[in-house]
Each structure stands twice: as C-alpha cells, then as structure tokens.
Amino acid sequence: MRILGINALFHDPAAALVVDGHTVAAAEEERFSRRKHGKRPVPFSAWELPELSARWCLEYAGIRPEELDAVTYSFDPGLARPAHEMGLDDPWDPLRLDYARRSPEFLAEALPGLDPDRVVFVPHHVAHAASAGPASPHRDSAVLVLDGRGEAASHLAGRFRDGRLDTLATQALPDSLGLVYEELTEHLGFLRSSDEYKVMALASYGKSRFLPQLRQHVHPTGDGGFRARGVDWAALAPPRAKGEEWTQEHADLAASTQAVLEELLLELVHWLHGEAGGEALTMAGGVALNCVANSEIAARGPYRHVWVQPAAGDAGTALGGALHVAAQQQESPMPMPGADLGRGWSDEELRSWLDQAAVPYERPDDIAEAVAEELARDGVVAWFQGRGEYGPRALGHRSLLAHPGRAENLERLNHVKGREEFRPVAPMVLADRAHELFTGPLPSPYMLFVHDVAREWRDRIPAVVHVDGTARIQTVDERQEPLVARMLRGFERRTGLPVVVNTSLNTAGRPMVDDPRDALECFGSAPVDLLAIGPFAVRRGRVFA
C-alpha cells in the first residue's frame, strides 16, 4: 500500500510517505516554505496544507496522487467537542474544525488526481502514538503521548503489540501539560508553541522554589490521568517582555515548572508500567521533546529501554497516521530507518548549484578530513551532507560544527545564530566512545536525552557543558554515519578530543537549512569559515577575498 501522511491543523505541517509498511520519505513544510514551524497555530491558518512537502514525497517515490491507496490526516473532527465545553478559551475554534472537516476536498485540490474519498481521519494522539511504537526498534512497547491538545484530550497512554494499539488512559481537556508549559513560555517572553525548549534551557539557571505552589495545580490523579491547569503565573513571578533581560525569578519559575513536569511524568510512567508491563517505553507528542524530562524517565522510571520519536512534535503525526493505517491494513510497519528522511542531492547536482552561484570551491581528497582540519584550527563549519533530518534536531546532515575545547565557542555560536546567551550547544561523539565521557541513556542518536559530563572532561570540552554539568549528546554509529564518523576520528587525531560541537544549521527565527540555496545563503550571511557541501568545500577566505 502507498500511504501519504499529512499533518496540517495546528502547527509544524509535514508530510510522510509509507510504502508497504516502509517509511520512504518524511519532511516538514518549513524546510520548503522557509517559514518557521510552517505557520502559526491559529484557527485562521488551519486550512494551510503541507503542499510542498507532500508533492516532494510523491515525486521522490515516483508516485502520482491518483496512485495513492490512502492519505491520512492526523486529526479526527468527529471526535472534537466545542472549545467552550472543554474549558478552552478559543472562540474561533469552530473555524478550525470546519477546515478539518473539509480537508479531503482541500487535499484533492492541492494534489490533483487524488480521490478525496481516500482521505482517512486518524485521531491526533493515535497518530502521535503510532509515530512512536511502530516506528521504534521495539516490536512491543508501552507508549506515552503528551502534548498541548488533540481533538478533546491532551494525553494518551497505551501499549503496542504487533503494531496494534491498546489505549489504557487519556486525559480530557482542559487539563494539559503541554498547554501549561506553553503558558509559561509566553509568560517568560518567548514565542508560545515554538520556544518551549528555551524555557527548558533557562530552568538550569534556577531553583525550584515555586514547586509547592505549582503542585496545587499540576499533579497526578492516580488513574493514569492528571490535573494541569489554572496556574496564576504572575503571582509567582512578573511577566517578562520580549527582549527584556531575564531575572532569577524567571529562572526559578522555569526550574519549578520543569520539576513539576518531571514529577508528573514519572508518576504517569510508573502507572503505565503497572498496567502494561514490558521493558520498552516509546514516547511522542511535544512534551517528549523535553530531553531533561526524558532523562529522568530513563534514569528513574521502570523501563529498561526508552525510545523517543525524533519528530515527536506534531510533524511526527504525518508519519504516525500513515503507519497506523498501514497496520490496520495488516501491513506490519517497519521501524523508521533513521531521521534522515528529507531531501538530498547528488554530487553532480551540488556541483551545478555551486557553478550557478559562481562561488570558488574545491573538491578535497576527503571532505571529512578537510573539515576536521578546519575545526582543529578553530574554524566554524557549515556541514551539508546527505538527506535532511525529520524533526527539530540537527543530526549530522544540516549542522554547524565547531571546536568543543574553546569555552568562548558557545558565545561565538550563539552570536552566529543570533540566540540567547543562556542556551547550550550540543556535542557529537562516536557511539563507541560516548561512555568514556558521558553518563546517561546510550546510545542517543537523536539528541533527545541529557547526559552528565564526566568531571575529568568538563574542562576539556567546555563549549558543550551546560551550567548544570550536563550535555545533550548525539551518538554517531559508524555503520550508519560513516562520513560523520570519519570527520570525528580525524578531529580526534588532531586535537585529542573525540567530540565536536554540533548545532543546527540556521540562524535565529529561520528554519533549518534544507536545500543548497539555503546553505549558500546561510554561509554568505553568517561568519562561517567553511561550507562542506557534499564532497565540496567553499572557504570564506576565497569567496570574500
């Protein structure tokens, strides 16, 4: 079966293609449209579809719209209730629901030849769950989904057996861990439904002194559900205006909310294990992008294995919806092969882009060794290799790389990217070396956990050590990422350090670089020393001589 998955209603529109149970392609619309998160999550944008990413998925596989067996839409308007009945202040929600109901005709217009009767509504949290369990390496697993909202709930707990979901608990709106965290994000002067990861970073600078007050509003109910609403944020700390300096009160409020989130998640995980048993937990939903909480679950929870969908936010529901329908059709979904499911270009296509841009470039004997040499000289490298990543993390395909042994490189990269000074950058390390430097869940290929940095290494790789002594690492498997592994080994030969700084290839407010034009534009506008694009090297010194 050929199944195209679509996420469109709230935010992070995306498309994914599953053929005979195999994940063939998946990409977020923002990488094509160059609009961060694709659109804002407001009812007036709910009609917008991931047309560009959907067309690319089909073109990549050589499939015409009329040849699709099904198109999934990761929201079922038939399960929704009026917003006011759910305790939500969203007067325009009926407009959003109307757009959802009409999505089959919108999709048929966007993809000429598609039969609208082939569009299938998949419940939002079922799509999230299917992006985790069946996509993971674990055939049978418990699954936990937490986000802002779906049709009428904010949470699903269940178990997968042979690709089939058994739902054990849900939490009705308005109680929502995701919405609580979104409210805090807005209160602290960041962009709601976008900048929640900044709150997580800020939390490391604070103390959880507001935890008793927050527990009154955020706590488990003992039946697999929870209460999460009604926090008077202003009574705890004053609101922060956008661009205003943060204070210790703001950091303490972030730390307290992070702490209560972790407490509640651990309670939910223990309840789920009591109901579902097993050794593996899979997770999805926007809350699953909280890598600090994920690490607490891995360290203190009852599961031997914890696997988090790399596109855990709403973008992942495009893949989950397609995998869910594949399972319903008796096709056993295969684990996703990795996060590099987006666009890629051949060497000759890249050469053509460079020739067209009329920039001087070279083709070194080994681009990995050339990059290792530049990094050892303390250069900043834009790394553009292979297919783009699905999800928000740069995982060695669209990355900015730097020397981890220079403490000033944290400030340097945050300046290059236009980011807040309190935000950390991440280390990339070979999987077979990670245990020497880091303590935490290993391997960690998708950068979705934090790890304690060994004390003897903290002064050697200061650029990647957060204020609390942790790092959000990416482990590199040489069999899956031979080029990245070769670069890491070349850097260690020159410096004695088996780690390289890895952060996403973009600047503030812009989506991650995706195509060669994006890479050249980013290289031209940011103080980057070398662009490694396929086997070619573009050096700033030659371009701007």
**Per-position DSSP letters for 463-516, written without gaps between them:** GG--TTSEE--EEE-TTT-HHHHHHHHHHHHHHS--EEEEEES--TTSPPP-SH
How far, in Å, CA of 527 to CA of 540, rounded?
A: 8
11 catalytic per annotation: yes
429 close to 474: Cβ distance less than 8 angstroms:
yes
Strands 2-7 vs 70-73: parallel, antiparallel or unpaired: parallel
Q: ∠ at Cα 335 (333, 337), nearest 5°? A: 130
Distance from chain centroid for Cα 94: 29
Catalytic option among 11, 155, 324, 451: 11
CB 50 within 8 Å of CB 107: no
What is the 3 state secondary structure string of 19-55? ECCEEEEEEECHHHHCCCCCCCCCHHHCCCCCHHHHH
Provide the token pair at 365: 């004997």
- CA 224 from centre of chain: 26
3-state secondary structure of 129: helix
Helix (H, G, I), strand (E, B) or coil at 108: helix
Question: Tokens 């706590």 correspond to what residue?
Answer: 219
Q: Which 8-state DSSP code applies to residue 540?
A: H
Q: How many CA atoms lie within 13 A of 244 on its CB side?
A: 13
Strand order in the sheet with 426-430: 474-476, 426-430, 499-504, 398-402, 381-384, 530-533, 536-539
Place of tokens 């956990």: 449
Torsion of CA 30, 89, 319, 52, to 10 degrees: -30
3-state secondary structure of 71: strand
CA distance 267 to 115: 45
Cα–Cα distance between 295 and 451 in angstroms, integer?
8
Q: What is the largest CA-CA distance in the chain?
A: 66
Provide the residue count of the chain. 545
The catalytic site residues sit at: 11
